[in-house]
Amino acid sequence: MRPGIVAHRAPQPSLDSRTDPLLRDAALAAVDAVNSCWERFDRAALVEEVKIGADGTPTYRLDDIVEGQIAAVAAKYGANVLSEELGFLDVGSARTLVIDPLDGSANAAAGVPLSCFSGVIVEDGTPREALTVWLEGGHVMWARVGEPVDYATSGQRELGASALGLLRPKVGAFGDTTEAWVALTRQSNRVRILSTSALEAMLVGRGAIDAFADPGSDTHRLVDLAAAQVFLPAAGGVVLDAFGREIEFDTDMTRRWSGIVAASESLGQQVAQVITEHVNAGVVV
């Protein structure tokens, strides 16, 4: 193994036989692409910024390659694509593949085994089916709207007894979120920072943690939350915006939310209350 090369590889995930072929092949393309990148490039090359994405942030080489291979799959199926780097690729289809090709790309590039593919099929503006794959672990979360699932949230209702996942504190659209972040850590029972929203949403859906939140920085885009919007309600949980805004399908990748993924409505609202008490969403800085 050459110095600077990520040593591990993503296993082939075991996907539900009911998975839509478009989602299935998109996920498998992500696995193949990330493995190829780990074999070909060292860490420095993986995080080289190759362009500015549609969401206004720099795009790593790793993200660009993985996204490109998934977009090729969507083209084969004649589907539109909505992604953080490419933006909206409209081919005139009623079906749109909404993807976060590599959530936790900084982890993936560094060799921290916490990154995910996350995708949703949206038909005429309505989410129908979602799939998230923890790439390094091979674990899968799948759901189709209206069908039962074999997993469930913890059902936790109280913030004081909860285990939270949080984005790190930062200066966002409404100012510094450090006070909100500290308040959540003090009022909850346990806190983790994994730096991959898709994986943390999976963990809420499986009952491993009770909630995950952006503490008011408006970091989340639709692609970060779309899959959770399908599988969390099926598992008994909720997906909210801390400031009460509707998280809706929109092809504008510059729109942002402060997402909360929680095991119960009660817990989600308690997390939101702490955030709004410490972050003024009426004042953009």
Question: What pLDDT is stored for residue 173 in this prediction?
Answer: 86
Number of structural domains in the chain: 2
User: Given 111, 144, 177, which residue is the final one in a domain?
Assistant: 144
Residue-number span of the structural domain to which 75 is assigned: 21-144
pLDDT in the model for residue 281: 61
Binned average pLDDT, 10 residues per bin, the chain of 285 residues? 84 97 98 97 96 88 97 98 94 98 96 98 96 97 97 98 97 92 98 96 98 97 97 98 96 95 98 94 51
Could you tell me the pTM of the whole model? 0.94
pLDDT of residue 285: 44
For residues 35 and 61, membership in a common domain is answered with yes
What's the start-to-end Cα distance of the chain, in Å?
A: 47
CATH number of the domain residue 261 falls in = 3.40.190.80
Q: Which of 248, 246, 228 is nearest to 238 (CA)?
A: 228
Nearest of 245, 243, 230, 239 to residue 98 by alpha carbon: 230
d(CA 5, CA 110): 9
Same-domain check for residues 57 and 95: yes
Whether 25 and 140 map to the same domain: the answer is yes
Asked if residue 120 is part of any domain, the answer here is yes
The answer for residues whose C-beta is within 8 angstroms of residue 208's C-beta and 6 or more apart is none
Same domain assignment for residues 84 and 163 = no
16 domain residue, yes or no:
no
165 and 212, same domain (yes or no): yes
Q: Which residues are annotated as a binding site?
A: 84, 100, 102-103, 224
Q: Give the model's pLDDT for residue 57.
A: 85
Whether 130 maps to a domain, the answer reads yes
Asked if 209 and 140 sit in the same domain, the reply is: no
Residues 173 and 270 in one domain: yes
Show binding-site residues for Mg(2+).
Answer: 84, 100, 102-103, 224
What is the reported pLDDT for 100?
Answer: 97
